């Protein structure tokens, strides 16, 4: 078997590995599909994440958006049997799958330690294929961000960043009944994807004035502190250093900003300006409780969600797939494995 490992900043390799043995509380999964996440690319750039990067000289395995078939279940694992098709929830796994733990899902055989049905592993509904199942994890991240934004159907929303998480947010905002959703990105290809998933308008950052375009479409709010923008809720999935300060500068009172982007460096904001805006800033990370809702949606609307996928490559070609995922001419890149 093989495992995709980070050995240092910019140094990622497909290494040979010995299959792990499943203990009494563990499940061994034959991986069938695993998506490449933006966090995977960030981990590669920075040489790892958290304690694994700082203190551990061992390689860090990658991959967390996985679905596959149970090969073996430990004797203490309840309601999970060999042959079952399962989706992995990496945020509840005891070994932090793909994010600094000892396992990563870019491998033919994935050990899920402390496996629990409905917690770390969820059954794939009848008729759902593996690549749709592997979309569950990123779509839960998107849904968690939308939930943190406390959106209402009447809200006017803007999503900064039309990568996979931002595109997932566009999809969920549409499903929540919003009819005024604007996507902002630097690349036309990604904005086309956003429109296909329900964005009602797009802004090409770098070539258009974002504040002026938002004010034109979402209206102006006149306050004693100036002429502000009528957007109700902003979602930052891009992580550009200017986004948070710019949103604070334009936001009307009671506007909401949800940050799901991972920032590598601190961002300076004007707290006096923030004070005058009386706005709300929150964050969203991972996918702690949304898996059942997302799986139910995918069971009915999987073909709509499939539009997130721009490329499919075999596990043998994963190094090339990482290059594709770095390209602005991609959205979700899905790695597919031969039947195991």
CATH topology for 150-283 is Rossmann fold (3.40.50)
Contacts for 40 with CB less than 8 Å, ≥ 6 apart:
62, 63, 64, 98, 322, 325
Q: What is the mean pLDDT of residues 306-327?
A: 96
Contacts for 264 with CB less than 8 Å, ≥ 6 apart:
42, 46, 239
pLDDT, position 54 = 59
What angle is formed at CA 213 by the lines to CA 211 and CA 218, rounded to 5 degrees? Answer: 90
DSSP conformation class of 99: B
Q: What is the C-alpha end-to-end distance of the chain, expressed in Å?
A: 11
Where are any strands of DSSP class E within the chain?
A: 2-8, 11-16, 27-36, 60-61, 65-73, 85-88, 109-112, 121-123, 157-160, 181-185, 201-204, 220-223, 226-229, 233-236, 256-259, 280-283, 309-314, 332-336
DSSP conformation class of 131: H
pLDDT, position 339 = 86
pLDDT, position 330 = 94
Give pLDDT tens digits for 251-300. 999 999 999 998 888 999 999 999 999 999 999 987 778 999 999 999 99
- Count other C-beta atoms under 10 Å from residue 323's C-beta: 10
Distance CA 89, CA 336 (A): 18
State yes or no: pLDDT of 194 exceeds 90.
Answer: yes
- Give Cα separations from 117 to 50, 123, 295, 340 (angstroms): 28, 8, 14, 21
State yes or no: pLDDT of 51 exceeds 70.
Answer: no
pLDDT, position 247 = 97
Q: What is the mean pLDDT of residues 8-32?
A: 94
pLDDT, position 105 = 97
Q: What is the mean pLDDT of residues 44-59?
A: 78
pLDDT, position 95 = 78
47 CB-contact burial (10 Å; exposed 0-12 / middle 13-18 / buried 19+): middle
pTM for the predicted model, two decimal places: 0.92
- Give Cα separations from 294 to 137, 181, 194, 218 (angstroms): 8, 20, 19, 29
Please provide the average confidence, as pLDDT, over all residues in the chain. Answer: 94
- Give Cα separations from 202 to 25, 187, 244, 252 (angstroms): 48, 11, 19, 21
Give pLDDT tens digits for 78-102. 999 999 999 999 988 777 899 988 9
Domain ranges of the chain: 2-137+287-336, 150-283
State yes or no: pLDDT of 66 exceeds 70.
Answer: yes
Closest by CA to 70, choosing from 86, 48, 50, is 86
Percent of the chain whose pLDDT exceeds 90: 86
State yes or no: pLDDT of 173 exceeds 80.
Answer: yes
Closest by CA to 138, choosing from 178, 87, 180, 185, is 87
Domain spanning 2-137+287-336: CATH 3.90.180.10: yes
State yes or no: pLDDT of 15 exceeds 90.
Answer: yes
* Residue 32 and residue 337 in contact, taking contact as beta carbons nearer than 8 Å: yes
Q: What is the mean pLDDT of residues 162-180?
A: 96
Secondary structure of residue 121 in the 3-state scheme: strand
State yes or no: pLDDT of 56 exceeds 70.
Answer: no
Using the CB atoms, write b or e for 61-82: b if 16+ within 10 Å. bbbbbbbbbbbbbbeebeebee
* Residue 230 and residue 221 in contact, taking contact as beta carbons nearer than 8 Å: yes
Percent of the chain whose pLDDT exceeds 70: 98
pLDDT, position 337 = 97
């Amino acid at each position: 078997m093989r495992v995709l490992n980070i050995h240092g900043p910019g140094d990622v390799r497909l290494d040979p590995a010995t299959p792990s043995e499943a203990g009494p509380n563990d499940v061994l999964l034959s991986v069938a599909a695993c998506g490449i996440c933006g966090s995977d690319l960030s981990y590669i750039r920075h040489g790892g994440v958290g304690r694994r990067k700082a203190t551990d000289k061992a390689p860090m395995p990658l991959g967390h958006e996985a679905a596959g078939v149970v090969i073996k279940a430990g004797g203490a694992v309840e309601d999970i049997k060999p042959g079952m098709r399962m989706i992995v929830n990496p945020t509840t796994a005891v070994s932090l799958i793909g994010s600094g733990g000892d396992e990563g899902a870019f491998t033919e055989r994935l050990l899920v330690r402390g496996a629990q049905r409905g917690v770390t592993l969820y059954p794939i509904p009848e008729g759902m294929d593996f690549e749709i199942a592997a979309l569950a994890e990123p779509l839960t991240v998107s849904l968690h961000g939308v939930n943190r934004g406390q959106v209402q159907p009447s809200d006017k929303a803007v999503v900064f960043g039309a990568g996979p998480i931002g595109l997932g947010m566009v999809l969920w905002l549409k499903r929540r009944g919003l009819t005024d959703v604007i996507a902002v990105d630097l690349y036309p290809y990604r904005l086309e994807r956003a429109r296909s998933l329900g964005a009602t308008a797009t802004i090409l950052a770098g070539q258009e004035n974002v504040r002026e375009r938002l004010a034109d479409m979402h209206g102006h709010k006149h306050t004693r502190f100036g002429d502000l923008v009528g957007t109700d809720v902003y979602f930052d999935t891009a992580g550009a250093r200017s986004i948070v300060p710019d949103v604070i500068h334009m936001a009307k009172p009671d506007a909401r900003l949800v940050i799901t982007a991972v920032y590598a460096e601190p961002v300076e904001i004007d707290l006096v300006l923030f004070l005058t805006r009386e706005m709300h800033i929150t964050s969203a990370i991972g996918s702690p409780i949304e898996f059942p809702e997302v799986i139910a949606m995918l069971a009915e609307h999987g073909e709509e969600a499939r539009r997130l996928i721009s490329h499919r490559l075999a596990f043998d070609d994963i190094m090339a797939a990482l290059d594709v995922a770095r390209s602005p001419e991609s959205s979700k890149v899905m790695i597919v494995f031969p039947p195991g």
